Structure 1
Amino acid sequence: MKSIGMSKIGLVRQRNEDRFYIGDSFCIVTDGMGGYKGGEIASTMVVDTIAADMQNWQTVSVDALRQAVAKANTAVFERVQATPALEGMGTTAVVAYVEGTTLYWANVGDSRLYVFHEGQLTQISTDHSMVQALYDAGELAADDMLQHPQRNVLTRAVGVGPVVDIDGGAKELASGDRILLCSDGLTGYIEEAVIEEAFRKEAKDDRLVEDLMTLVYDHGARDNVTIVIGTID
């Protein structure tokens, strides 16, 4: 898998609490939250902990991915316990590992994983957010999710408790398929159909990242945004 990523501070933000990491076979995106510099600390710790763990792997599995995220959760939680000023900090995390044509993934929070296959963009991860819970309960229409005042409220995050429930799975891909990992700075403001159309129009991943960033900034870039795109060999 060949991957490229970019992270930029939003136009109304003072610091970028997003982080990403690209390894030979895996990608990670995190979006931190909470307290003075707390989000930056949490998102950086989680990326560093997961990446260090995954670099030593000989084989990959969904359970191994979950365990890596769980280890990162413990690291952040223990940091908060030792430093009360950091109380409330945490982060999202979405991780993708490609072995051959098999995609293994794990996520916590509302940073997302998508697969683009034969012209169609499909969301693989599920958001752990208030608006997703309201939508699942039939109390919120899909068209209203991007405008809801609680769209940034998470129901799960890495580091806010001693344990965290981690989603994960595996999916078979085909050569030429593309994956997208991103923070909600993209999906919280740009409709999925618009993102899908950008994928259809641009075959080069580096230019696609730029195109998606332009869309975000054209819409005001009210949040930090991180985008990682990979193409399966």
Structure 2
Amino acid sequence: MPEESTHSHSVPTPDGTIELTWAGVTHTGRRREINQDALLASYPLFIVADGMGGHIGGEIASASTVDRLGGVVADGPVNPKTIEKALTRAVRDIASHPETTDDGTGTTLTGVYLDLSDGPPQWVTLNIGDSRVYLVREGDIEQITTDHSVVQELIAAGRLSPEEAENHPYGNVITRAVGPSESVAPDYVRLDVVDGDRFVICSDGLTKELTDYGIQHFLRENDDPAAAVEAMLDAALENGGRDNITIIVLDVTVRVTADDPENAPATIADSSPA
């Protein structure tokens, strides 16, 4: 397995600089023959896609989605309109392949991008399916995205506890994906940019093998994003590696050039359309 490296990017702002460092890794796991996951980690967009359907249908679905979103990064700007336009094109790409005729062919999509378009910088998370975005802020870990899955709907309805959900027979059944329908829009959540934040963007191949607190443990033990993704990957493989595993760790450092009380860290913003 090749050694991962940490990448960096500096974002100038009116009040200083946002320093971003990140690393990503994807692995087939111990039980799957092919890797149907894909990732894109290219400023300002960091996403993971977990494909499903047929022998290679899922691989085509995730790769098509990542390729289309990579085009958004290259052409700019990144916003809900350009993201959703790219997803519409990705659905057409998926449908054009004879290997993706299975009704279940599609892909999850989750991640974050940095929005500098209006007012203070903000993160925007996007999500379709059951891959996840976690945020570690001031020592606490929180799942920012909400799974689009049968199990999550049962939990929300009070018919299933989180503990019961771990071994539920419908644990892999998702309710939204890129591919099965012509039009699908992600859920968006806006977050303030805060010094010291760490994001983890991952497919369920990681969360099947590590709890939230397990993820937090490896982040505490590894300050460098590349070391963190490698440590989590190794632990997930050791715990069984039952699925493809994809992880991005993204770290945020805010450097303020002037004393301004308005630049003090804020709490997570409420969920709102992007």
Q: TM-score, normalised to structure 1's length?
A: 0.91
1:24 is displaced (CA, Å) by 2.3
Which is greater in Rg? 2
| The one of 79, 98, 101 aligned to 1:61 | 79
Going from structure 1 to structure 2, the CA distance change for 1:72 and 1:106 (only over 3 Å counts) comes to farther
Displaced runs of 4+ in structure 1, greater than 6 A? none
Which runs of structure 2 are paired with 1:123-142 in the superposition (5 Å)?
A: 123-142=143-162
Distance in 2 between residues matched to 1:193 and 1:103, nearest whole Å: 23
The residue that corresponds to 2:93 in the other structure is 75
Alignment: residue pair count: 229
CA RMSD of aligned residues (A): 1.8
The residue that corresponds to 1:190 in the other structure is 210
**Is 1:220 matched up with 2:240?**
yes
**Is 1:48 matched up with 2:67?**
yes
Distance in 2 between residues matched to 1:228 and 1:209, nearest whole Å: 7
Task: Check whether the contact 1:62–1:169 (CA below 8 A) recurs between aligned residues.
Answer: no
Residue by residue, what CA displacement relative to the aligned partner does 1:91-140 show, whole Å, maximum 9, x if unpaired? Answer: 00113112465211211111111111111111111111111111111111
The residue that corresponds to 2:102 in the other structure is 87
Q: Which amino acid aligns with 2:70?
A: A
Going from structure 1 to structure 2, the CA distance change for 1:65 and 1:176 (only over 3 Å counts) comes to farther
The runs of 5 or more residues in structure 2 that have no matched partner are 1-19, 254-274
Q: Which amino acid aligns with 2:214?
A: V
Task: Check whether the contact 1:104–1:169 (CA below 8 A) recurs between aligned residues.
Answer: yes
Task: Check whether the contact 1:6–1:227 (CA below 8 A) recurs between aligned residues.
Answer: yes
Which runs of structure 2 are paired with 1:68-217 in the superposition (5 Å)?
A: 68-76=86-94, 78-79=95-96, 83=98, 86-88=101-103, 89-99=105-115, 101-217=121-237
Residue by residue, what CA displacement relative to the aligned partner does 1:51-81 show, whole Å, maximum 9, x if unpaired? Answer: 11232114x43444344434433433x426x
Q: TM-score, normalised to structure 2's length?
A: 0.78
Task: Compare the two structures and name the one with the higher helix fraction.
Answer: 1
1:200 is displaced (CA, Å) by 2.2
SS at match of 1:46: helix
Going from structure 1 to structure 2, the CA distance change for 1:116 and 1:69 (only over 3 Å counts) comes to farther
SS at match of 1:115: strand
Q: Which amino acid aligns with 2:239?
A: H
Task: Check whether the contact 1:62–1:105 (CA below 8 A) recurs between aligned residues.
Answer: no
